[in-house]
Each structure stands twice: as C-alpha cells, then as structure tokens.
Amino acid sequence: MEKYDIVVIGGGPGGYVAAIRASQLGLKVAVIEKDVVGGTCLNRGCIPTKAYLKHTELIHDLQKMDEFGIIVDGYAIDWEKMKDRKNKVVNKLTGGIRGLFKKNGVDLIKGTGKVLNENEIEISGKKTEKIWAENIIIATGSAPIKPGLKGMDLANVITSKEALDLDELPEQIVIIGGGVIGVEMASIYSSLEVEVTIVEILDNILINFDKEMADIVKKALIKQGVKILTSSKVTEIKEQKDKLVVKVDSEKAEQLTADKVLAAVGRKPVFTGLENLDLEKENGFIKVDSHMETSIPGIYAVGDVTGGMLLAHEASAEGIVAVKNITGDSELRDNLIPNAVYSLPEIASVGMTEEEAKKEGYEIKVGRFPFKAIGKAIAIGSEEGFVKIISDKKWDQILGVQIVGPHATDLIAEAVIAIKLEATSEVLADTIHAHPTLSESVKEAAEDVNNLAIHF
C-alpha cells in the first residue's frame, strides 16, 4: 500500500487548498477526486455563475448606453457562445489546479474513495486500490436539495447544476427559493429575457442578510422584471402539454406556468465513502472542533460537509487550519467570514448586523453613506446602494459592515481586515482613501458613525 502523511477526500476549494499547503510544508499528500478538481464552486457554482453574471452586467450596460452618449442599435443573445465562454473559464481554472498539484508534488488519484478505517482508504476507479494515510481530511462537499413535494421528479425540474448548461433558454422559469442561489440565477435569467418568478416561503428574499440591503436587491430585481412571491409555498408541480404548472400557496392561491422549475432551497452534505466511520454529527453535518478535527482523532473535515455558511473561501481557510494542526502548528478556525451575493447590485457583509449586535448586548453606533454621494459611482452610472458600519458605542470598535452597491464584493475586504485587527471606526475614517474611488464610501460611512461625514 502507498503511504501518505495526509490523504484528502475531495478536490474542491477546501480539499485542493489543504493539499497544496500540506505539500508546501513538506508532507506527502494525495487527493482523491471522482470528478473534476475544483469542486462545486469552480465547476457548477461560484465561477460559472460569475462568468454568466458578467454577461448580465454587459447587457445592463448596453441597455443604458444612450445615457453615456453611445447609441447601440440593438443586440442579440447567443446562449451557446455564452456557455462556451463559461466552459473556457472553468477549464482554465481546473487546468490551473492540476498544474499546481504537479508543481507541488500532490498526487491526484481519480476515483471514489471509501474510508475503511482510521488509516486505510479504498479507491474505486479504473482499478481498485488501497492507500494508507497517517491523517485524513474529509472535503466531500455538498449537493443541492430537492424539496419533497409532488412533481419534483419531473424532467424539467432542475437544480443549480443543470441550470448552468441548459440546451436552450426557457421562456419562463420558476425559482423555488429566494436565497443566494435563487437571487443570482434570477439576475442571470432575467437579463437573458427569460420571464422569472421567485417563490420564497419566508417574508423576504435573502433573509440572512441585512433587511435594508435585501430590500434594495428585491426592488432592483422587480425593476428587471422578476416577479417575487414571498410568504409563499410551492405545493405541487405537474406537466400540462409542453409546460409545467406550479401550484403556489400564498395570500391568494395561484398557478404559475413555466418551462423549467429551479429548486434553489439549499444544500445537503455528501457522506459518500464515509459509511464505515462513526463520526459525530451536528445538525446533519460532520461535527468538528476549532482545529477542524472530527470526533475521531487524526480525521479532519473541512468545507460544506461541516456546515457553516457553505462558502468556498470558508472551506479553503478551514483546509489550511486543518493542515496546520496536523503539522503541530496549532491554529483555530476563524469565524470572521465575509459573505457575498453577486446580484445587481451586489451585496457583501462581514461581522454583525445591527440586530445581531443588539442581541449580543452591545450599545451601538451606526454610520451610513450612500453611493449616490460618491463621485466615482456617479461617474460610472452606479449610484444604487450604501455602506453601513456598526460600531460599539463604548469603544468605537467596528462590529460589522454591510455593503450593497457597485463592487460591494470587492470593497468588503477592507472591512474584514478592519474587524480582524479590532480597528475603530475612527481609525478607518482617518485612513486616507484615493479619490475618486468607490472605496471612499467606506471611509465616509466610518466618519458617519460619529456624525462627521463630509459629503452627505
């Protein structure tokens, strides 16, 4: 049997990052991957949707070109060419990961791994083989959930995986779920002239985000032509001729017609190959400690399979924590994780919201600054949204930052550093930001915490 210091099961953002870091630290490492390296994020999630969302952004720019004095005499959508570009982006990145494995001496083993015990793993692929591991890192990820209601097994009821590679664009689509996946897919499809309806069981979309931000995105989606039904529940889907009929229980019972129904109600952990391990679970996910170690010594788990926010960057950070603890360089998992939604406008947040800070017992100060008062935002025609900073009233320490507006997902990085360094809003306000930039909105929001914003 080939012996390794670490065997990683799963080559997604948690697994491949852990493997490369372990190899950099001098360990002998193998990654078992049954599909393509990069996991859901790179192949069927973050990267493909961001490629499509760039197309969406360009279409929105085209629609307002006359405001900039540029006359565009119509445009056409080539779905096949869009898919081809998306695939090229994905293939370039998956090829990059394989190149990094080769450069760092990581063995990539194609096949499905089955953990036999704390050290032995059987791999079923072109041939069946066994390998031995001193330590195991489980990075098996998650899969889309299909709710258990009548009609979910129909051919035209899809998940986010199939939604990215449809043979042709539907005329109408119903999206079940108004979370991150549902909102991003609604942004993409509506820009491609598809009639979109979101059905959300709760009283608002993006329920895990600051309500002010969610309301701005909701308003923007409606402006783009998306129909949004909140406090509503899909009860049944049935076929009628060449269409789907979606029954919805809301304030008034209604039926929606669609070519496709997209289930975007969440994700579940993948435990394939782990059946022989008696791992402790928590809320249906593998339970780990702050070192990313499971209930079995020497076996670690990272990423979606452990729960949390189910984000690629969270998985990567956890993979590095697991490796450092294996090598004896004790490190704890960082709970300061930025969150992002790539809608139009974008949303990003880190730390506490106003409600969360109050629940934790803080007396807070809140600073807000709108993009409509930022020179760069006005110049580029993206004035929608704001930056909000929540600080502790006693010490002025920044507790949370929420951004909705242009490039929010990039601007949030400054806030992550500020909170990690336990900075005050005064420190952020006194930091000189280049002009004209969108980042000035963060500085001005920090100034507004103490009622000192100058430009609004």
Q: So which residues are the catalytic ones?
A: 435
Strands 233-240 and 120-124 turn out to be unpaired
Q: Which long-range contacts (CB under 8 A, 24 or more apart) does 150-155 make?
A: 150/235, 150/236, 150/237, 150/238, 151/236, 151/237, 151/238, 151/239, 151/244, 152/237, 152/263, 154/237, 154/238, 154/239, 154/244, 154/261
Through-space distance between the first and last CA atoms of the chain, rounded to whole angstroms:
68
DSSP 34: S
Name, in order, each residue with C-beta under 8 angstroms of 279's C-beta and a sequence gap of 6 or more. Answer: 286, 287, 294, 295, 296, 299, 301
CA distance linking residue 354 with residue 402, whole number of Å = 10
CA distance linking residue 362 with residue 354, whole number of Å = 10
**β-bridge partners, 7:** 30, 136
The owner of tokens 């009639």 is 195
Contact call for residues 243 and 259 (beta carbons, < 8 A)? yes
The backbone torsions φ and ψ at residue 415, rounded to the nearest 5 degrees and listed phi first, read -70, -35
Q: Which has the closest alpha carbon to 32: 131, 134, 161?
A: 131
The owner of tokens 């194609």 is 110
